[in-house]
Structure 1
Amino acid sequence: MSIKRHGISVGVERIGDDDFFLTFKAVGKLTHEDYQRMVPMLESAIAGVEDPDIYAVCDVTELEGWEARAMWDDLKLGIKHGKHFEKIAVVGNSTAQEWLTKIADWFTPADVKFFVTQFDAIVWLKD
């Protein structure tokens, strides 16, 4: 019997007046519905803060891809809130994920870096 896992887990923690620590783990294929759950959580957390600074760790070790509509949702999130992301640490386990992270760094105002361990990613976010 095979069980196909899918989903996201998101955590948002406020540190001080305007710093936010976002944790994101994707399992399986990201869907539009995943973004429908995640984006309101993020927007609710930063509501009322004039210029929030977001530090994110994104675990993609179990990510299998995106639906096309989910890619569009990701682009819209970046356009709307991209200026608030200071650092994005991507935790992965493949060369393709590492290359995609490097490409994302070119097109994102945030500092984006790839890591193999979550510990190293968090240490970098705190620097």
Structure 2
Amino acid sequence: MIEQMQGLPAGTLGFRAIGQVTADDYARIIVPDVEAAFALNRKLRLIYHIGPEFTGFDPGAMWDDAKLGMRHLSGWDRVALVTDVQWLRMTATAMGFAIPAEFRLFSNVELAQAIGWISEPPRV
């Protein structure tokens, strides 16, 4: 399941993965929110928290995540991934260079720092 994170500044989207994440979660929650935000903003920031309650992704969810990121490839300003899931951390570390945005990886105990970083005013 995916839930929205609240209290983030304008132009910033936040999602939290809890339990098993499905393709339907992407279709119902993430995709509409991202598309609506891009309709209003040229650049967006994203924080994605995959915490201790996370149990896994269905294969369709992983594919939807990749498609969504590619569809808006140049539209991301900052992306923060917050997780202690080792295979996700290793993948993010290995593939972080391919994200056309400022990208940072945080552990779950650093969630507050991740929110602070994602909320910093844009550099001029």
Q: Given the two structures, how large is their TM-score scaled by the length of structure 1? A: 0.77
More strand by percentage? 1
Supply the distance in 1 between the matched residues of 2:54 and 2:73 (Cα, whole angstroms): 22
Paired with 1:41 and 1:77, the residues of 2 have a C-alpha distance of 11
Identity of aligned residues (%): 29
Q: Runs of 5+ in structure 2 lacking a partner?
A: none
Cα distance in 2, alignment partners of residues 60 and 46 from structure 1: 23
Equivalent runs, 1:41-120 vs 2, <5 Å: 41-49=33-41, 52-61=42-51, 62-116=53-107, 117-120=110-113
Q: 1:35 to 1:91 in 2, by over 3 A?
A: same
> Computing the radius of gyration over CA atoms, which structure comes out larger, 1 or 2?
1
Residue segments in structure 1 that go unaligned for 5+ positions in a row: 1-6
Equivalence for 2:19: 28
The answer for the alignment partner of 1:4 in structure 2 is none
Please give the TM-score of this superposition, normalised by the length of structure 2. Answer: 0.79
> What are the superposed Cα offsets for residues 31-68 of structure 1, whole Å, 9 maximum, x if unpaired?
1101101201221232154xx21111111013222111
Q: Partners of 1:26 and 1:45 in 2: how far apart?
A: 20
Summarize the Cα distance change of 1:57–1:48 in structure 2 as closer, same or farther, 3 Å threshold: closer
Q: Assess, with a 3 A threshold, how the Cα gap between structure 1 residues 89 and 31 changes in structure 2: closer, same or farther.
A: same
Root-mean-square deviation (CA, aligned residues, Å) is 2.1
Three-state SS of the structure 2 residue aligned to 1:47 is helix
Q: 1:48 to 1:96 in 2, by over 3 A?
A: closer
Give the equivalent residue in structure 2 for 1:121.
Answer: 114
- C-alpha spacing 1:55/1:26, structure 2 compared with 1 (3 Å): same
Larger RCO, structure (CA 8 Å, separation 6 or more): 2
> Between Structure 1 and Structure 2, how many residues are aligned?
115
Q: Which residue of 2 aligns with 1:10?
A: 4
Partners of 2:81 and 2:104 within 8 A in 1: yes
